[in-house]
Chains A and B, each alone.
Chain A
Amino acid sequence: MTTLDSLKQGDSARVVDVAGDDGIAMRLMEMGVTEGELVTVLGFAPLGDPMELRIRGYHLSLRASEARRVQIDPV
């Protein structure tokens, strides 16, 4: 299964699932990273991590370790 951290700048994908039921998973879902949502990678911080995404019309930043929780379907 592909995860969000494998995307490159400019790639888009649909969220399939968020793994886990801890604070990080819940935070991701609260911020709108839920099944079926479209995410676009806008870029990465100069040191390669974290990444900046567009989801639900706003910009969201998350670390690669957190993006690894998000299973996606590339589009």
Chain B
Amino acid sequence: MSTLQKKSAHPPVAGPLKVAMIGNPNTGKSTLFNALAGMHSRVGNFPGCTVEKKIGRVRWEGRRVELIDLPGTYSLSPRSLDELVSVEVLLGRQKEIGAIDGVVCIVDASNLERNLYLVSQVFDLGLPTVVVLNMADVAAARGNQINEQKLSEKLGVPVIKTEAHRRRGLDAVREAILHVSDLPPAERPKLYPAEFYAAVERVQAELAGWNGQPMPNYLVERMVMDVGGEIEMELVARHPQKLAPLLKQVRQELREGDCRIPGVEARVRYAWAREMLDGAIERPAETVATISDKIDRLLTSRFVGLLMFAAIMFVVFMSIFAWAEPLMGYFEGAQEWAAGLVTANMAPGALRSLIVDGVIAGVGGVLVFLPQIALLFLFIAILEDCGYMARAAFLMDKLMSRVGLSGKSFVPLMSSFACAIPGVMATRVIENRRDRMVTILVAPLMSCSARLPVYILMIALFLPQEAVWKKGGVMFAMYSLGVIVAIGVAWLLRKTLFKGETPPFVMELPSYKLPSVRMVAHRVYDRSKAFVTRAGTLIFATTIVVWAALYFPGDHTEEHALQAKIESIEADIDEPLTAAEKQLGQLVTRRDGYQILLAKDVRDDKKAAVHKALEKEFKEAVPTDEAALAEDVAELDVAIAVVEAEIASLQARLEPLHEQKNAVSARLIESSLLGRLGHTIEPAVRPLGWDWKIGVGAIASFPAREVIIATLGTIYSLGGDVDEEDESLRATMAAATWPDGRPVYTIPVLFSVMVFFALCAQCAATLMVIKRETNSWRWPAFTFVYMTALAYIAALLTYQIGSMIV
């Protein structure tokens, strides 16, 4: 660290030292923040916008320090509400944070010229500032020799070299932050011609007259400079008659005086940057193609590039679609285990139902998404940290721009085919608000894995014996439906709610580097934690509410009594049943083995092996001649029949009780709040070809689409533990009729159910994640309404048109 003359500009304060961290994207700012703040960071949103508020609270040398990680940005000229937040924080105008004691500006040492542009804007804020030259190793590898002492002298602020991913130079940064309030405020470079400052003063004076309170100089400068920027928009809306003509006049005068607004800014700031670097950096005269450049040529080429892209995306997709499955199985196993534990130790009753079907199911419903989220963010963090994410956007931009989005929307939307939750969370890579919002709002239309059970059940009902390709064809049609509708909705949203100038795709393609394990682990942890703590509680609450609506009102005494009886009989017969089943198993193994020994078409060596295995298992001689074997098989058959009868008689005690209980449960669900709602809305779902049972299933599946199967199982008196492969559920549904004897599940009805589930927003978790990501209830409400309306209309058309054809 360079030694600058320290002078105490601020008196010592009792509260925490507040230091904002700002920098270009891809400078390793987050790595540095994580290294400094460790696990002591809190993530939230700034009120009224989608910008993430990340604050690290630490205590160094007994001093409380609050580190505020601002979003990566190339410039401090706000063109949207989201970009304005950083400026407001730095100016101490953000109420939740308050006055800032200093700024740490992180710059990419290997890309100094462009990074100093932001530094010059930060200096304009007049705060005590520290410049951190991160990625000093990359700069050195490229042959850049930076004299930080010299640079510090020229800039007039401390300059510290770091390699944040190797945790080098952290102590010096900590030291500088602790002493940041001893530094003098950064000196404003005053780069513009004098006319500009005069014009700003004039506008400022006028504004003070209208508002009664002065506006910070920096904001007025920005307003004059940023044609169509956020500050101008906001203030012109407040003083439409006065401000617009004033700004027009001032800008016109400046342009005539050779101070071209807005082009002058880039010219003077870059000239300043070059002047600062003169003598402080030695660069190789020729730009040599680095390894990173060569990799880049290959990875963005037509053939190898697209092939690699497809392979990488395939791995990412498979990870959430298939590899997360076993992990999700563990959570489901744990959930069953916990439910079993409660069931075994509690008598049936409302409390047990609440714990098992409400609380445990609710917690399970949150945790089950964790593997997908963790895996997707593992890959996204790796791809982003190594620099590939920007290339993925580069490769896919043309394709996505046809839908009015940018290449950055590709990965979030693709991930949504597995699950919209990590997909919506992944939209954070899209810095443009409009693109990000449109991507979030259409992501739930991608057919996710939770729709699969619904498709499988419905397809099995009308194509029970058909070829796989036919089933696959229907499945493909459902997936395509989601994509086509999403394209239409995205187009419509960009023409209506989110219209305006196309956001620029002027994007840096960072150099490739090895991803840092620490950074990747941090991201995965961060995302998973954010999901559980911020969306999890809401998902949990929804499950409880739906449980209550299915449970109340209704007298569950009979149901619980029957359940208690079932459980007591189960306990009674448990021992003899287990013994009988074990015996049956042995008998069957033996008989099947003997039958192999008797079979004509089995090779002798195979028979010998079976013979040996049987003798080993039953520890007695196995006859070799055919007559003895045949005799034994006949005897075994008799013994098997006896044991089977025994088992049947044991279970016979349970069967009528099960039937009785399922009938009671079906009646209770019909009289529950949701059941009544299902009856109430029956006139509304009739045009879709549905009866009230499907209606209840659709409503009860609000926490998650796949719940419809368990609900249908309960309504059809089969119990709630059926799945989409359940033969009895399929048979019952196939046999279900209207009161007049017509079958319920005709082909148009099955398609109308599938189409509805393809397009509806029956996934509380997705809606809660949208709430979290957009920081507003408006957008999940909007998503729910538009998707439900679309689903209804599409299901209606499907049924009505389908009925005409069939």
Contact = CB atoms under 8 A, between A and B. Distances in A.
A26 to B, nearest CB: 6
Contacts of A27: 74, 504, 506
Give the secondary structure class of A's interface: mixed
A21 B300 contact: no
B117 A50 contact: no
A24 B283 CA distance: 30
A30 B77 contact: yes
A29 B505 contact: no
Interface in B494-512: 501-511
Interface in A52-66: 52, 54, 56-63, 65-66
B508 A66 contact: no
Contacts of A59: 296, 508-511
Contact of A66 (B266, B505, B509): B505
Contacts of B505: 50, 61-63, 66
Interface residues of A, number: 35
Interface in B81-119: 110-111, 113-114, 117
Contacts of B506: 24, 27-28, 31, 60-62, 66
B137 interface: no
Contact of B507 (A26, A34, A47, A60): A60
Contacts of B265: 29
A1 interface: no
B327 to A, nearest CB: 35
A30 to B, nearest CB: 4
A30 B395 contact: no
Contacts of B501: 22-24
A46 B301 contact: yes
Interface in B240-289: 261-263, 265-267, 270, 283, 287
Contacts of A35: 267
A23 B79 contact: yes
A18 B505 CA distance: 16
A49 B114 CA distance: 24
B297 A61 contact: no
B394 interface: yes
Nearest to B507: A61
Interface in B395-414: 395, 397-399, 401
Contact of A34 (B267, B306, B504): B267
A22 to B, nearest CB: 6
Interface string B284-319: 000100000100110011100110000000000000
Most buried by B among A24, A26, A28: A26
Contacts of B788: none
Contacts of A22: 227-228, 501
Contacts of B79: 23, 26
Contacts of A61: 390, 394, 397, 505-509
B77 A26 contact: yes
A8 to B, nearest CB: 15
21 contacts: A23-B79, A23-B504, A24-B504, A25-B262, A26-B266, A27-B504, A42-B293, A42-B296, A47-B399, A49-B397, A50-B397, A52-B509, A57-B283, A59-B508, A59-B511, A61-B397, A61-B506, A61-B508, A61-B509, A62-B506, A62-B507
**What are the 3 A-B residue pairs with the smallest beta carbon separation, nearest first?**
A29-B266, A47-B398, A59-B509
